[in-house]
Every structure is written in C-alpha cells, then in structure tokens.
Structure 1
Amino acid sequence: MAPRKKSITPKYFGQGGVSVKIPRIAYTANALRFQSEEDLEIYIENHFDELFPDLELLQRQFRLKTNRYDLLCRHKQTRQAVILELKNEEDRSIIWQLVRYRKLIIAERPFSDQIDYSCPVELIAIAPSFHEDSWIDKEACKFEENIKLLTFSFVIEDKILDLAGHKHTIPYSISGFSDEPTPEFALISRSLYQEVPALSNFLSNLGNQEYQNDFWNLRNLFLAQPKVKEIINPLSNKVFYATSTREGSKTLAEINILDRKVLLFLHLPMYHSSLSSSSSYRSIQNPIKLGRFIIISIENSNLLNLDSRINYLVIRSSGGLSLKEKENVSLAFEKNRLKSIREGMPKWIMAEGYISILSYTVREPKNPIVFKELYPDLVSANPTGWWQEFQTQETDKLGWFVDLAIRAWRYKI
C-alpha cells in the first residue's frame, strides 16, 4: 500500500501525514457541535481508519486547478476513487459541488498509479442534515447509485459521534460540557501567573470562587470560536473577546469588573427597520445587525452562570449603566422602555420579550428571519414547525443568549 501523501496544510500534520491538531467541539444550548468545518475535517481524518475501514485516505484538502477536495480517497480492494465532501451545516448545493469534482477528477486523473479510473467515482457527502433539494438533485443524477448522503449527530450523554449509524466515542475535551472538570482557581492562578499575569489578576479580581469557575466556562466557549482573541486591559478589570484591539474590530463579548460588580456585555442581533417593512425575508439583504447589549440579572447573584435568569437587556454603544440606573433597574426600565435608538431597537427590553421584538413586522404577525438565519439546524430538522418549537426554549437564560451571540458571531465572521 502506497504511503499517504502529505496534506497541503503541513502545519496541521505530523510524520506520515497524520493530523496532530485537536478538533474543537463545544457544548452550547444543550447541543454539541463542531466549531467549524475544518474541525469536522480534522476529526474525520484523525479517526479515518475507524470510521471508514474500507477506504484509504490519499490526501486531505487536495487541490486540483481551482478546486479543493476535502478528502480524496480510494477503496482498498477495488482502488475505486472516492470523494468525501464535509459540511458542518446544511448546504443545498452540495450535490452539484460533488458532480463538478467528479467531472474534473475524471478529466485530470490524479493519483493514476493508485486509483483505477475504469471504476465509477464514488461521491460521499457528510453533513448534520440535508435539504430536500439535495435529495431531489441526487435523484436527478444519472449516476445516483454512486452518491451517498451520510448524516452525523452527537449522543450528548455518552459523548459519542454517530456517523450514519457508526458510533465513535469522542476522545477529546468539549468546551462547556458539564462533565468536563472545571480547574480549581488555585491551580489556574499558579499555572497562569508566570505566563499570563493579567488573566491571573483578573481571576483574582473576580474574588468569588463560583464566579471564577463560571467565568472559566464562558471563556472556554468564547475562545472556541473562530478568530476570537482574548484581550485584557492593563488594570486587569476588563476582558474582551474580539478579533483585535484595533478600531472597527468585531467583538463577541466583554466582561468588566466595576466597583466589585461583574458586568457582562454580549453582541447580539438587534431589531432594525428593514425587518418590519419587508413582507418577505428574502428581500432583506442584511437581516443580521448586531448591537452591544448589557446583560442584567436582578434575581441571580452570579451573572456568569449559564443557568442564570436574565431580566433585562440594555443596548449601549459604549459604557455601562449610570449610577441612577444601577440604583433602581426596574424604574430605569419603565422610564426607557419606549425609547429607541436610530435603527428602531428599544434601548431597554425585558429578556423574555427579545424574540417578539426581533420578529415584529407591520405586514405580518411574525417575521422570524433573524432566527431562521441563525438556526439552520433547527429549521432543517423541522421545516414546518421549527418556529413553534423555537419559542418553547428557555429564552430568558444566560446560556441561550450566549449561544445566540456565538451563532451571530459565526454568521458574521
């Protein structure tokens, strides 16, 4: 058997072309998911022989002219070419993408010393779900019998990846998963102080052990997202999760300590005039616009706990609450609930009313395009009843808002 060729991305590979990078998997909103398509690719490659014992992986991210094949393989016995295309989200154009790859590989015949091109090329698509259009496209292909659509899912309680019925135990740690041990603050502080004193000082400023542990959980979730960097100010009382410190950079979240109080800011979708004036979501060119929201909980002493109930959201482009607003949050809400920013988003809203505000439209009872864009997994799983199902979620819990901020971040990035 010929040795596997090295990937075109050698920084992710060790000797023999075997990937040594760890795929990122996160637990948010009671679900597991790969943080990116690259993480899915890394996972499949790391455990390729277990998941596809009849196949041999020739090269990951194989480039042919202007196209890149996620995984180019062959059958061990027949030497038949096999193309694997991986998607971390539903993609209705995946069939025709594979068809283009098939035509090109037949014309160019790469790895001709290892692949028998007298055999039909097998096309395999792997995704969490497939749109109805993909099944129709498959039926329309004259070589339908050579196309396979394989779905993957997670069994949360057992930490298992189920790929088309093949169950594989996940051997990696999972960000935000309750079974993952939270490091003790003393151990964190000792190990971090020499390398990242600002982060160690921030943990000390949090003071409360419960805050420290819940901050660490949030930190893991934020840092698991693509392009997110952790930025700590010199006083160690502010932490930003953003692309950079430059003006105009994108921000996911901020955690501040002011007067021994912890403040949390999330960048969430906000209401804008285009949502209410459009009768069809397809006519909205940019449905997702983000705003900087102060997250307020008056019922929970620990704001950073994912199970904390959130009472109010306050949109502010900078700064936090004024002294008067802090003294009586409920009164501040009553005074400001009818005031809006330029885009039409109310300055103060109750957390439980957030969904209604973002789905309001003057022409239709509801226009949930914002959530339809951010929750394609839920929509694909229940195309006709997803909106009713969506509204049954605990949308007043911090965990729900953190997950929404992460989804919005990934959508924008």
Structure 2
Amino acid sequence: MNLIKTGDSWKFATEADLEDFVWANLKELFGFIPLKRQYYVNGQICDILALRENKQLVVLELKNAEDRYIVQQLTRYYDALQELKPLEDEIDYQQPISLIAIKPNFHRDNFIDKKYHHLSIDFFEFAVLADEFNYYLQIKNLDLDNEKVSIIEIPHQNRERNEDIPPPPRGLMNRLAKCSSEQQEGILKIRQKVLSFDKRMEEISSAVSFRYGNCNSKASKFCAEFYFDSKGIPIIFLWLGLKNNKSDRISRARIWTDWQDNALLEGYVSSGIGAKMNSSKKTLLNRIQIMNEIAENENSKYRREYKYTNQYFKDRNRILRKLNNSEPLTYEERKLLEIDANKFCIVQGGGRINTYKFDHYDSLNGLVDVALEKWRKRL
C-alpha cells in the first residue's frame, strides 16, 4: 500500500489505497465476506458491499479524511438498496441492512446526525501506526463501550508528497487501476509535476478526461490532459507549439510514449482522441507487420501480391512529404520509414532507397516542461 507522512503521523496516500486495503482484509478486520466494491445502484456508488455469515448485507463507506456528511451518504445507499434489492440470490433482505462508516476521525456533526437517525449506523475510527520496522492499521468500534480494536499489518511503500497537492480524484484512481504499473507511475509523476508548478494550476475532471489548467471556463488555458479511450488506454495530451512545436501558436498535441521517458509529438487534435489519427495508426501497424514479413521471408505469401508493396511506397512518399515539411510523425510512420525496402527486390529505377533511422526521441519529461513554460507565458 502507498503511505504518506503528514507531520508526525502516517496515512494512506489516497482513499482508493484505503479502500483497496480494507477490501483485501474484510475477513480479518470484521469477519465479513466481500461481495462488491464501487457498486452502482440507482444513481449511487457504494464503496464496499459485504456479507455476514448469515447473508446479512453490510454497506461500508470509507473516508481518508474528515467528512461531515457520511451519515447522509449511507442513508442514500440504504434507500437505493432497499428499493431495488439487487443481488437477491446472495443477500437476505429479510434482515436489516447494516451500515458502517470508517474514517480517521469523526466530526461532531456526524455524532449529532447519528443521534437522531432512525437507522443503525456504526462508526469505526482508524489510524495508521508505525514502529521501527512495520506499519499497522488500527480500527476501533466507537459504538462499543470497550471500543473493540482490530490491528493488522500494512504492506507498504512510502511516498513523498507535496502537502499542497490534493490526492488523485477517485475517477482517476479507478482509471489507473486498469493500467500497467509503468503507466500508473508515469501519469502520477506528471500529475505531481504539473500541480506543483504553479498555485493557479487546477485539476478539472470529467468521465474520461483529466485536464490541468488555470480554470474551467471559456477563458481557461490548459497545459496537460490524461484521456482514457473506450478500452481504458491512457493517452497524454500537451498544449505545445504548432509546426512540430516550432511555432509560438499553441494547440493540443497528442503524445506517444513508451512510458520510459521516450516520447513523440504525433499530431494536433482539437478535441477527443483523434479518431482519424487512431485509424491511421492501426492501418499502418498492420502494413508494417506485412512489409516486415516480406523483407524477412522470401517465401512470404505477401511477396507475390504487389498491392502491398505499391501501398507501402505510397505511404512512404506521403510520410516523407510530412518529414520534409517538418510535420510531426506518428510512431508507426517512423517505423514504416525504418523498414529496409531494398530487401523487397523490387526497387524501381535501379537505385537504392534510403532507410531512415530515428534514434532520437523527445523526452516526455522535457515535453511536459515545455508545455508548462508555454502555459505560464500564456497566462
């Protein structure tokens, strides 16, 4: 788990980290059976649904910081579940639904709301404890006179954190959960860098996009964006100069990266992910695979079909015109130019064709720096 130090105490880096740990240890902490997490029902999203041994439903709402409205939130979950009664094969709705709030501390308003509420809601207070070698989660049931305590060790990874930077929003963490570890680390590093750059920088979230700029209005100036396509694949956009970043005029540029700091500015997209660019990249990738097979295998079934080589030269000439005009090339366009066409034994005019080698890639970190500086100048 990711833990951060705040003053003399420790806490989970994000609410998602807290939820991950509680979900993985429901049996040991509470004796519950995990059922669903982030469960959507009638417009509400419940953090965790669990069961007792007798199939009684338990709803757990977790907060990584003080929250004055957790009782009202649990009430809405209760109403949605009672009305629709989902998962009836697994849940015994003849028994009352148990509601549990888990927080590091409770505001006095929470106790007032609970005092006059007709539903039974249990308050559990948690803390992250540390000794010389290990970290532990301690949970107390505040509704018992003896404050029953559960303690469990936390496998951890310490992370430094700028206290001025808010934790990643739940939506972003949910998206990152489906990404590779390299993508997760890369995106969180860029986010940290961007939000640390200037006090005016804000994070603007939507269903599939997380933008960074000075505000969310028609007059806003953006510098970076993480966009997640229909398959959950993250795409990075930076606001860079036109004409392959040589112009002072700024536009939204799509960035390719191998998540090892190698990057390319692939083109400019005003909105969305650039469906035309996506289609072209997919088509070129297929052609590259075919041409590599022709180049490496004299008995390839494609070698006798000239439509493939003819199309290759059309693509090559189109890409070379872009290269000569200093237009950005996609990763696939670069790879197509690196194919050794002289191996095709179909070189026209008897001359050899140059093979282009693109050893130099931009630094992703460097492109982010450029986008930040350009953003500050625009402000």
TM-score by length of 1: 0.38
TM-score by length of 2: 0.42
Instruction: Determine which structure has more spread, i.e. the larger CA radius of gyration.
Output: 2
